[in-house]
Amino acid sequence: MPTFKLNDKEIPFEPGETIIRAAWKQGIEIPHYCWHPGLSVAANCRMCLVEVKSQRPMMLPILKWDAEKQDYVEDTKPKLAPACQQAAAEGMEVSSTSDQVKQAQASVQEFLLLNHPVDCPICDQAGECKLQDYWLDHQKTLKRKQTEPVHKVKGVRFGPTIVYDGERCVMCTRCIRFNDEIVGDPVLDMRERGNTNEIVLSPGRQLDHKYSLMNEHVCPVGALTSRDFRFKARVWFLKAQTSVCSGCATGCNMFVDYDPRDQHVYRLRPRDNEAVNKHWMCDDGMLSYHRYHQERIVTGRVRTNGHLADVKIDVAMREAAALLATVEKSKIGVVLSAQHSSEDNFVLAKLAREKFGTDKLYLAALPGWDGDKILRHNDNNPNRAGATLAAGGPLRTVKDLLADVASGAVEGVIALGWASAEDAVALAPLSRAKVVVSLSSNEGALPNTATVVLPVAVHVEMSGTFVNAKGMAQPFKKAIQAPPGVKSAWETTLDLARAMGLGIDFAKLDDVRRAMPANTPAASNPGAPV
């Protein structure tokens, strides 16, 4: 592979790659605003200027301030090149830290801050703002300009999710390019020039496509902010955990940003993975975190006199075990969930097959949504493949279960998850079963029809694996603590088995993973470092 030298370090590159991309691949960051690895090159921020050392550099005449003479003197300086546009060449010597470059970076940064409002206290970007970072790295001076900054529009609602602040904008056009190139919906554009330059919506449009929240993340500064995340938390308090989106079968890689103090997830962000989602995520996926905190089931529930009453978890557990004991084991139907991790499903399936001796396994899944060609998969269940894989055989549907219940073949049901394609009305026949034990994290049709409900953790509260539609097993890690007393579904299953006097011994997650079929990918693919 050919190489070039960046700051005396050999950088390999593929022919045709730009300097900045080759450096980025090596984990070296050349300061930039407008360049984005997933977008086309605009080269308008001029932050990435580097000095390309060649035998005969192009020298530009300049006037330089001479402190001794107290006057400007004529001088020359080499012309700098934007690293985002300059293709790398074999043997090229590039410097991003020479005096000339430093001066250029400082000047660009100062220009970008000329009209910036004093908004850090009220700006959500503070803490992860490139303007702040680069100021510290490259400018380091206080303001020289004495005059009033130019004012522009503030707080413009671009759509249901995004608000635009013209004063904070550095006109990098990343958002415009993102909408054009990735989404294919040219809803944003730029108007005017110079000081009055601003981002505008296409006439009559709103920023309302399915990837609008990505605009916040492509924006390097605080110009585009999310209405969902707005004013809720400060990013320097948040910790991140690598995880996988549970929104659909694509399995976008993401970060879970949570506050460790209150164990609350505040947002989900895309995590770069060229093989799955590149740099992007859809709105629905990013907003799916609301489910972690809303409509949660945190207590046990037992149906008495027709309605579900909250009880302590261990009470519900005992009740469930007692009720299940009244049912002939072979007549217990077990519903796996396409929303739950492979481990959850595996343990439940193992319980059914080995301890109940039943093969009445069903799969509950959401009915699917409107997918597209970008990221969204038609199947909005994250782990249909994994659940099937973990069950070790084909699974029947909930409809089949209803039929079995009606026929009396199934008298007891253990159902995992809240999601099913059927609504409450459709599930009503389920109540004819003697006992329906639901292991569910959230409210839903399935737990509502149950005799006993046992709460379980959502996927950010545990470590596990999702297998996406492409068959990639992607592990995710625990981010926040589950509500007190609530355990993950596989642990709850074990507890239930124990309460029924059936022993399945798994002490920790690794045991489960080891016990999973050897060709089940999760065990062989513990998460690569991020």
Partner 1 sequence: MERIEEELEDESALELPTEPMRLNMGPSHPAMHGTIRMVLDLDGEIIKDVDIQPGYLHRGFEKSCERGTWAQVYPYADRLNYVSPMLNNVGFSLAVEKLIGITVPERCAYYRVILGELARIADHLTCNGAGAMELGAFTPFLWFLKVRDWIWDILERETGARMTHSFGRIGGMAKPPTETLKQDVLDILPQVEKVLLEAEGMLLRNRIFIDRTQGIGILKKDLAIEMGVTGAMLRSTGVDYDVRKAHPYSLYERFDFEVPIGHDGDNYDRFLVRTEEMRQSMRILEQAVAQMPDDGPINVEDVRIMMPPKDQVYNTIEGTIAHFKLVMEGLKPPVGEVYSYTEAGNGDMGFYIVSDGSGTPYRVRCRPPCFINLAICRDMLLDEMIADIVPTFGSVNMIGGECDR
Partner 2 sequence: MSVAVLARLQAEFGAKILETSSFRGDDEAIVAPSDWAAVAAFLRADSELVMDHFIDITAIDYPERTPQLPRFDVVLLVRSMSKNHRVRLKTRVQDGEELDTLVPVWRGANWTEREVFDMFGIRFRGHPDMRRILLYEEFVGYPLRKDYPIDKTQPLIEYRKEDNLEKLPPFGPTEGQPWNRIDWQARLEGRDMQVSPAIAVQQGQKHALSESSARAEGKPLPDEIPGKN
Partner 3 sequence: MGKLVNKPKYTMMERAYLPEIARGLGVSMRHFFKNTFSRRSKSEIVTVNYPEEKRIYPDRFRGVHRLTHRDDGSPRCVACLCCSTACPAQCIHIEPAEYDTSDPRYGYERFPKVFVIDELRCIFCGYCVEACPCDAIRMDTGVHVPPSTDRAHFIFDKEVLMSIPGADGTYESENPRHEPGDPSHPGLTRNHGH
Q: Which of residues 154-213 bind partner 3 (CB under 8 A)?
A: 154-157, 163, 165, 167
Q: Which does 156 bind (CB under 5 to 8 A by kind): partner 3, partner 1, partner 2, none?
A: partner 3
Q: Which does 312 bind (CB under 5 to 8 A by kind): partner 1, partner 2, partner 3, none?
A: none
Sign of CA dihedral 107, 111, 112, 116: positive
- Decide if residue 1 touches partner 2 (CB under 8 A): no
E strand or H helix that includes residue 303: strand 300-304
Classified as helix, coil or strand, 145 is: coil
Q: Which of residues 151-210 bind partner 2 (CB under 8 A)?
A: none
Contact region with partner 2 (CB under 8 A), list: 99-107, 153-161, 314-322, 392-400: 392-400
Find where tokens 């997830």 sit: 265
CB of 136 to partner 1, least distance (A): 5
- Residue with Cβ nearer partner 1 (231 or 236): 236
Single out the residue of 64, 230, 399, 432 in contact with partner 3 (rule: CB under 8 A): 230
- Residue with Cβ nearer partner 2 (155 or 393): 393
- Residue with Cβ nearer partner 3 (58 or 122): 122
Tally of CA atoms within 13 A in the half-sphere of 29 that contains its CB: 10
Contact region with partner 2 (CB under 8 A), list: 187-195, 273-281, 351-359, 483-491: 273-281
Q: How far is CA 168 from the centre of its chain?
A: 25
Q: Which of residues 437-496 bind partner 2 (CB under 8 A)?
A: 467-475, 477
Read off the tokens for 147. Answer: 């005059």
Q: Which residues bind partner 1 (CB under 8 A)?
A: 113, 116-121, 126-127, 131-132, 135-136, 139-143, 236
Strands 452-455 and 435-440: parallel
Query: What are the DSSP E strand ranges found in 13-158?
Result: 49-53, 59-66, 71-78, 81-82, 93-95, 156-157
Residues 6+ apart with CB under 8 A from 69: none
Q: Please answer whether residues 498 and 367 qualify as being in contact, where contact means their C-beta atoms are separated by less than 8 angstroms.
A: no
- Decide if residue 259 touches partner 2 (CB under 8 A): yes
Q: Which does 530 bind (CB under 5 to 8 A by kind): partner 1, partner 2, partner 3, none?
A: partner 2
Contact region with partner 3 (CB under 8 A), list: 173-181, 193-201, 231-239, 370-378: 231-239
- Decide if residue 24 touches partner 2 (CB under 8 A): yes
Residue type, 295: E
Contact region with partner 2 (CB under 8 A), list: 151-159, 387-395, 436-444, 504-512: 387-395
Give the C-alpha separation, 311 to 134, whole Å: 54
Read off the tokens for 527. Answer: 């998460």
- Residue with Cβ nearer partner 3 (231 or 484): 231
Strand order in the sheet with 361-364: 307-311, 300-304, 452-455, 435-440, 412-416, 332-337, 361-364, 396-397
CB of 170 to partner 3, least distance (A): 17
- Residue with Cβ nearer partner 2 (278 or 434): 278
Residue type, 512: V
